[in-house]
Chain A
Amino acid sequence: MWNWIHRLASPKRFYHFAGSASRWFGIAALLFGLPGLYLALFNSPPDYQQGESVRIMYVHVPAAWLSMFVYVNMAAAATVGMVWRIKVASAVAHASAPIGAWFTFLALVTGSLWGKPMWGTWWIWDARLTSELILLFLYLGYIALQNAIEDRDTAARATAVLALVGVVNIPIIHYSVEWWNTLHQGATVTKLDRPSIHWSMLVPLLMMAISFTALYAAVVLRRVRCEILDREQRSGWVRELAGKS
């Protein structure tokens, strides 16, 4: 197992592995996403209070989950890249940032669209919305720092420090904003003993969450492949690959 992981750290092996893995994750995203969307949009009950607009949840909640998952994943990959000098891990962190920023943006937009019929306004300074907005700022800062440093390895290490600082800060920001103001409905899925959401809504929600996660994996692997090619453009195997096609 360790041996396998160890060999995967070589850019060439990872390039080939990522190619097929990305394809499988893409297929998984479709397999869960299409039926998930069907169930969510056509075959799940409207909420007894919120009516049909509850269907926004099936995009909003997975996007919000992913926005946080991607940040933690990005920080973990960046740390692995910095501590063990594994360039593939740094590439994963690098490739994750824009995807995470888009998920955050998607969560904000769908939240705003959902807020209009529910709270009667596009934007409200609610705790979760605000911390999601701050998360977007953290992503933008990360991307800006990445773009500002020309040398790739320096950029990877500098952004790793920033990602770690961000990971320490996210819970602090989250709870400070929470105490500051909250209006948002409480979590309904993570109460493990008995979720207060009915299974006919839970099933499509979880399918969408799995689909979004698989989509993230597929896209990030694809981006990492491009970065490996760019990084290794002078090495023999890339030249061979380019000559072949």
Chain B
Amino acid sequence: MTETSLSSALLATLRRDLLLAYRHRSQLANPLVFFTIVVTLFPLGISPDPVLLQTLAPGVVWVAALLAAMLSLEGMFRSDFDDGTLEQIVLSPHPLSLVVLSKVLAHWLISGLPLLFLAPLLALLLHMDPAVMGVLLATLALGTPVLSLVGAIGVALTVGLRRGGVLLSLLVLPLYIPVLIFAAGAVGNADAGLEVTGQLALLGALLALSVALAPLAAAAALRISLN
């Protein structure tokens, strides 16, 4: 057998996950539809009043993004665990944490990035000021990768369990709270005409921290789950 280099192994993982997602296009759409429906529920449940909706909008969009990201998390390792691919990945000579990082990247490209395209539309439905849109997109661009990275740890811990779904949300949602606070706070501040660079910088810091640490923790958790 020939040795594959690290970069080609990582690229192959990324390509494979993207290809698999492309072949199951309908599953790709599910989190997006979910995201849209959750956002639609808020005006129905609270009030169609534009002023009220405008104040609620940053939080609503972000809570919906959190839930949508969580729903799609299981897909990151579940099918690979079921068909044994995951064991082969763990056996490969390349550092598991880096392979996990490329799987997380694939997951974000599939589930996080599309939210960025959908969010402006939903923000309009909630009467968000168009001038704030840039800040909303910036928070989503910085925040959703953190959701995928931190979520990877949770999935890795629960992938071996038969009914891991509810447990996963229990483990992961409390860890998402800082992202929610800074992201929704930044959009809210922008809406009020205040400075947002502080919150964006903190989101960036969270992203840097989770890129550095989350793959290591997820790799350790995967090893434990496969045992």
Contact = CB atoms under 8 A, between A and B. Distances in A.
Task: Say whether A and B bind each other.
Answer: yes
Contact of B177 (A145, A162, A176): A176
Nearest to A157: B224
A172 interface: yes
Most chain-B CB neighbours within 10 Å: which of A141, A154, A166, A169?
Answer: A141
B157 A180 contact: no
Given A154-B227, A161-B157, A173-B178, A145 B171 contact: yes
A158 B213 contact: no
Nearest to A142: B171
B220 interface: yes
Interface stretch (A6-14, A26-34, A132-140, A202-210): A132-140
B206 A141 contact: no
B178 A161 contact: no
A162 B181 contact: no
Most chain A C-beta atoms within 10 Å of own C-beta, residue among B160, B167, B171: B171
A1 interface: no
A158 B177 contact: no
A158 to B, nearest CB: 5
B138 to A, nearest CB: 18
Interface residues of B, number: 27
B225 A158 contact: yes
Contact of B221 (A137, A151, A158, A166): A158
A24 B220 CA distance: 39
Nearest to B185: A180
A132 B225 CA distance: 30
Contact of B181 (A140, A158, A169, A177): A177
B164 A148 contact: yes
A68 interface: no
A164 interface: yes
Nearest to B174: A137
A149 interface: yes
B197 to A, nearest CB: 14
Interface of chain A, main secondary structure? helix
Contacts of B164: 148
A140 B206 CA distance: 24
Nearest to A168: B213
B63 interface: no
28 contacts: A134-B177, A137-B170, A137-B174, A141-B171, A144-B170, A145-B167, A148-B164, A148-B167, A149-B161, A151-B227, A154-B160, A154-B224, A154-B225, A154-B227, A158-B221, A158-B225, A161-B157, A161-B220, A161-B224, A162-B157, A165-B175, A165-B217, A172-B206, A176-B177, A176-B181, A177-B177, A177-B181, A179-B181
Interface of B: 153, 157-158, 160-161, 163-164, 167, 170-171, 173-175, 177-178, 181-182, 185, 202, 206, 213, 217, 220-221, 224-225, 227
Shortest beta-carbon contacts, A-B, top 4: A176-B178, A137-B174, A141-B171, A141-B170
